[in-house]
Chain A
Amino acid sequence: MFQVIGGKSVQVTTAAAARLLAPRSSVLVEAVRGRKSRTDPKAKSKEGRIKVPPPVDPVEMVVLKERYTEYQLIMRALRLEFKEEVLRKKYEEETGSQAEERARQEAEEHRALMAWNDQENLRLLKIRMMRIQREEEEAERKKIEAVLKREQEHQEFIKEKEKEILQLQEDAKHFITMENLDQRIEEALDNPMNYNFAIDKEGRVVKQTVLK
């Protein structure tokens, strides 16, 4: 029993021409023993069997042989023709007349695109530089502004504090000292103040309250 290994046909790869022209068989087979090994005796039903090949008719054989040679010749020629065509096409593809022009055009395109790319880069560089410059100026200006503002605020703070100091100096004239202590006491005892008052939503003030 023969065992079939492999598929129906080997795939043709377009890589090398040698593999293109290599003979290919449709079936890859191997001799394999069946159930019995080499030392087993023959079966009883098959002991006296003589294998006879199928009978051949000579006339038919001659005719067939002629036809077959013709057929195979034609087929082989066709196959070789096709193979050659394929090879030629491949060769022309790689080293034909068009190949140089195409290569040249490719190089041309490449150069043009690279030039365009460089242009774009330059343009963007300019834009970027301008933007950076503008931002730097902006930052500079902001910094100066901030410094100015801080300075101004400081000045205003100082002014406020000076005003407060002046106010305090004014008030200090009315403080109580040893000399006007008695006078102030007399004054205080003479003028009792009353902070109790009532007010409503319209703003009317009522000062009359129970004091004593």
Chain B
Amino acid sequence: MPRYELALILKAMQRPETAATLRRTVETLMERGAVVRHLENLGERVLPYKITKHNERHSRGAYFLVDFYAAPDILPGLLNHLHRDVDVVRPTVLKKDDPVPSSNCCANYGKDLVYI
């Protein structure tokens, strides 16, 4: 199965709500037959620009990274679901390439850098 990563920008919320949203998201993924590999938190930061979503203007967001294995045909449905979620500001699913064989450069800080 190909390997995807979901770059998730959530609304700046309190911790329990964020946890609940994350749990919801991961459960959705697993319901659709994905295998979640890792969940990373990239911190809560100022968004590069103000984003308006679900009638609300966001200037700060919490960045999360979920990498998972899934079949390609669930992605449209998944994205649709995530767009409808009120707490999700911006979902982005990217395909993950195979890691290049590590050479003599700075590739040791995270084999898969994500540019947000």
Give the B interface residue count (CB, 8 A). Answer: 26
Q: Is the CB of B49 closer than 8 A to any CB of chain A?
A: no
- In the complex where A189-B19, A195-B114, A199-B106 touch, is A184 in contact with B39 (Cβ < 8 A)? yes
Nearest residue (CB) in A for B16 is A189
Q: Are B37 and A193 in contact (CB under 8 A)?
A: no
Stretch at the interface among A48-56, A117-125, A148-156, A173-181: A173-181
Let me know if A30 is at the binding interface, CB within 8 A.
no
The number of residues on chain A lying at the interface, defined by a beta carbon within 8 Å of a beta carbon of chain B, is: 23
For B19, what are the chain A residues with a Cβ–Cβ distance below 8 Å? Answer: 182, 185-186, 189
Taking a contact as CB atoms under 8 Å apart, the answer to whether A175 and B39 are in contact is no
Chain A hits for B44, CB < 8 A: 192, 212
What are 17 A-B contacts defined by CB distance under 8 Å?
A174-B37, A174-B38, A175-B37, A176-B26, A182-B19, A184-B39, A185-B22, A185-B26, A189-B19, A192-B42, A192-B43, A193-B41, A193-B42, A193-B43, A195-B114, A199-B106, A211-B43
Which residues of A does B touch, CB under 8 Å?
Answer: 171, 174-176, 178, 181-182, 184-186, 188-189, 191-195, 197, 199, 203, 205, 211-212
B interface residues (Cβ-Cβ under 8 A, vs A): 15, 18-19, 22-23, 26-27, 30, 35-46, 64, 106, 109-110, 113-114
